[in-house]
Amino acid sequence: MVDFKFPAWRQRLVRSLHVNRSQAQSKYFQVASVSKDGLPKNRTMVFRGFVLESLNLVSVTDIRSDKVSDWQLNTPKKFEICWYFSGSREQYRIAGHVSLVSNEILKDARNEHANRESVVFSETYLRQQWTNLSRGAQEQFFGPSPRAPFDIKADDDKNYDSDGLAGIKDINSLNPDGLRGGNAASQATQTKVTNSESQINNSEKSSNAESAFDISDHFCVVIFTPLSVDYLNLKGSPQLRCLSDIENDWVELVVNA
């Protein structure tokens, strides 16, 4: 059934997630930012659903990471997501601006007497995303800073095996949710995107994540607000390419691929 509430690209994206749900990589997209020296930077992130009843996409990250510095230094905080679904041979390039939510950012907002309703919403949202993480993934946010030189002493309680991987017996248990989080985390995120609407759903959180830790000050929710979408479908001849943007009320323009 077509949901006229949302633009065509979002309805397509929900369908792509559903059609490609058996492929774990369907929930990963590449996200580009612009660094302070004007250079493009991109990295893979996990899609964690839409903000309920909206066009906004959600990921989480460590506030100490370079991407957060890029976004904090630049106004507006621009992004481009590139997302390829190999099963259905579709690509989405989604551009727009980023909002960040963390303990510290919320503290500043409260001090600046920002809109109370939006602060309360953000607090609830931060907690919800935190509890959706497995215990292993939560633990990572209390670890050493990303990009700092690796300190084996600080990590020596983690039982290194011959591959030098902390506590990991099976390389397949590595997951992007928390590189040492193991299968529980991976299954938890997988479940989230098999849901056709991919909405963030409390009931799907990992069972061992509940109240494991208070929200780390390093934990950061990244909300991507799309302003334009470039959709390409490689199936069929000719291939289909549709451009749309918020300024034109998301009315699609079909162009040559």
Name the residues that contact ligand FMN, by CB under 6 A: 28, 41, 43-46, 59-62, 65-67, 146, 176
Q: How many CB atoms lie within 10 A of CB 92?
A: 20
In angstroms, give the least distance from the CB of 66 to ligand FMN: 4
In angstroms, give the least distance from the CB of 256 to ligand FMN: 32
Residue closer to ligand FMN by CB (options 64, 97) is 64
Which amino acid is residue 2, in one-letter code?
A: V
Whole-number Å distance between alpha carbons of 92 and 83: 5
In angstroms, give the least distance from the CB of 37 to ligand FMN: 14
Residue closer to ligand FMN by CB (options 88, 175) is 175
In angstroms, give the least distance from the CB of 255 to ligand FMN: 31
In angstroms, give the least distance from the CB of 26 to ligand FMN: 11
Residue 146, C-beta contacts closer than 8 angstroms, at least 6 positions apart: 62, 64, 65, 66
Residue closer to ligand FMN by CB (options 38, 238) is 38
| Residue linked to tokens 């931060």 | 126
Residue closer to ligand FMN by CB (options 15, 64) is 64
Residue closer to ligand FMN by CB (options 60, 200) is 60
